[in-house]
Amino acid sequence: MATAMQAGTPAAGAVGGPGYPHAVAAEERDWFSSEYEVELSRFFKRRFLWLAVAYIAWELLGVAVIVASQISAQVALDLLANDRWPSGVPRPDAATIIAFGALSRLQTWLVITLTLLIAGIAALFGLVRRRAINGRDELIREASIMIVLVGVAQAALDVYLGLSSRQGFSPLASLFFWHITACLFLPWSPKQSLKPIAPLLAIYMLADLLLPLPVEAPVLVDGVEMGTPWWTAALLRTIALPFVLAPGLLLCWLRLRRHGSRFRTKRFRDGFVSLRRELASARAIHESIFPGQEPDAAVPFRYTFKPAQDLGGDFPATWVREDGARMVLLVDVFGHGLRSALAVQRLAGEIERLRLEDPLIDPAPLMNGLHRYCELVLSRHQSYATAICAKIDPAAGTITFTNAAHPPAYVRTAGGGTPRALDSNAGVLGMPDQDPLPQETVAIGPGDAFVAYTDGVIEAQNPARQSLGLDNLRATLSHRDLPLDVTTHVASLVDSWTRGRRDDDVLVVMAGPMQPAPAHATATATAPEAELSHVG
């Protein structure tokens, strides 16, 4: 139903109450945060492994390069010492020869030991300890400890290599390396990426102060000339530190932002596909309670239903009583979509119970039973409904109906002309403090048909925001040469009026046209001019 009614104020937080949208939004945020945290932990765990493998590969490659360089330097020195340098190859200059000498004096066993220690630390944390951890906070702690330990061991190796080659030890270069490599692999925040850097910074600065380079000529390390007072060097490195860490911090921020965006997109896409599947299944189940078309019955029955969404709040029901009268019921639950469809399912069960308990039940008792059910059960969830129930008795030539705040149904005569309106004679189902719902009876003749619909028909709007309205519907039903299936014609009229855009469910039902009355039918029962009679 397109227009909701204000009826009572539910408690905050109750279904349909003021707190309901906020509670749902908060629950959705909590669900997303929880799902994203799980995904981020898995992502971090995978990247932790990649970082450890990268460290192991880097160290093994580094020691291979050092050993190969050492062997090459020793060979070059031997060639120079024995005056067997290959002709045509430029002889190395003095600085290169000094570097060859420094390489040849390296303690290979110490280099290999420190390298294997670094690789072992990476393997312990990334390949062993990581497997038993699932929480992201624990993974960040373990990764930080690994980076600190690996960085300290690498600092020892760098100091030894720097002292041996007289090239100095570069704290800022080392910090940049460990920070940027960690940020390349690990999906953590900029703040989390600084956890292992703080202790490494202190250790590197201390190592730089305690192990000065015995230089014979000025050497620049981190842009600072060796021999500069330590406080000046510390100040210059402190100024340069933010620029050294900035690339890694920016990388962390961009990666998390991109990962979060991709996660949302994937979750929404997967959720949408899953929701579409679920709605398709739900629609099949929902529409299984709809009656079948019965065009060849004694009182033919047809309907056309076009929901605004996958599920709707409009519902037809029909059955033939033991006395041959056809019961037709049209229910329109306020709103549309899943919530209204769930209310329809509950109402369908109550309708089935009422008609099975009393196979000859009339419209008024049936509608009073539905009203009582809505008042006691559905109104707690702010679910109300309009409905019309009609008993079409071809033997008596009458239609007995109860219209609970529903748009007027019509009796369309065989020869056309203005159809007779069956207006509302009761209030909305579920609204409290109502008198018992009455029923009224009108006479019908051969060829007449009962046509009912939901408000999605008359409230349908064209692009100019003009409603189709009762006048246009009556004019359509007045035409003499309408097709036999009036329901399809009216639904097509709505689609044409709205240019195919529906804001509400559209349901049209028709019972009839009536066959000629039996010979024993009374004249008063078939007279189309009979007055409305109040049955109560």
The two structure tokens encoding residue 249:
């911090």
Specify the pLDDT at position 522: 41
Count of CA atoms in the C-beta half-sphere (13 A) of 226: 19
Instruction: State whether CATH 3.60.40.10 applies to domain 289-534.
Output: yes
Rg of the chain, C-alpha, whole Å: 43
Phi-psi category of residue 56: left, alpha or beta, with phi > 0 → left and psi -120 to 50 → alpha:
alpha
Specify the pLDDT at position 19: 47
Specify the pLDDT at position 169: 62
Count CB-CB contacts under 10 A for residue 512.
25
The two structure tokens encoding residue 318:
């029909």
Rounded CA-CA distance 312/385 in Å is 13
Specify the pLDDT at position 374: 92
Cis bond before residue 316 (omega within 30° of 0): no
pLDDT below 50 — which residues of the chain?
2-24, 213-226, 228, 517-536
Specify the pLDDT at position 219: 47
Specify the pLDDT at position 231: 57
Contact 314, 507 (CB under 8 A): yes
Which contiguous run of DSSP H or E holds residue 449?
A: strand 449-453
Phi then psi dihedrals of residue 270, to 5 deg: -65, -40
Q: Give the long-range contacts of residues 292-296, CB within 8 A, separation 24 or more.
A: 294/318, 295/485
Burial of 296 (0-12, 13-18, 19+ CB in 10 A): exposed
Specify the pLDDT at position 163: 67
- pLDDT, one tens digit per residue, over 407-462 is 999 999 877 788 999 999 999 999 988 889 999 999 998 889 999 999 989 999 98
Specify the pLDDT at position 167: 59
Alpha helices in 289-337 (DSSP H): none
Contact 369, 334 (CB under 8 A): no
Specify the pLDDT at position 29: 56
Angle in degrees, CA 401, 503, 430, rounded to 5 = 40
Rounded CA-CA distance 507/291 in Å is 13
* Pairing assessment for the beta strands 409-412 and 314-320 based on DSSP bridges: unpaired
Contact 514, 449 (CB under 8 A): yes
How do the domains of the chain map onto residue ranges?
40-268, 289-534
Phi then psi dihedrals of residue 141, to 5 deg: -65, -45
CA neighbor of 205 nearest in space, from 182, 219, 222, 192: 222
- pLDDT, one tens digit per residue, over 137-163 is 999 999 999 999 998 888 888 777 766
Specify the pLDDT at position 12: 39
First to last CA, the chain: 28
Specify the pLDDT at position 70: 77
